[in-house]
Structure 1
């Protein structure tokens, strides 16, 4: 039996803001969208041409409070083909939230506080 990872879900407070962030910061664009008939939720799958794996962004109409991410001890990792250029972009965007110079990696935070690891190409 084999399993293939296909997506990970993040719930977001402002779908437009999140879509703009993921496109600018990581080059992820909308692949498909599901909208509830009653407008109670919208699910947008974003991705790019490097993999079939997608990030699922879910917006819930009736959610007013911010999402609790606990200790935020989880993350999604991205490998950058041009690490220095990626770092410069994220620095300009002001979204770098942690750097580990010894390991040669850093993390960015999306508008809802989810951490995303950026690693150099091998």
Structure 2
């Protein structure tokens, strides 16, 4: 399996009528737990082989007025934490096998420096309560 992470960010203010590039920085802090499993095709039993935790953090400064290839600069952290194989495998929570999955639960929010936050793109599935 190849599960690549391809985030995208809008240059303009997603809730305005204009399309001026206003992006000034990107902050991202995401943690993940991933399980490598074997599934018995006859019984549907799931056997956890490895549990891996990892975290991706970054802070990028953006200047949309600079030339292409010079607009973004990584401020921190320069080196990412390496994924950690957990010594004792953890069971997969039952809700991890149901929707919403991570991609369907993502939300795009616009948080201006002043004023209220706005949901630009809601989750594909509402969270279970």
Asked if TM exceeds 0.5, the reply is no
- If asked which structure has higher relative contact order (CA below 8 Å, sep 6+), I would say 1
Structure 1 length-normalised TM = 0.24
- Larger helix share, 1 or 2: 1
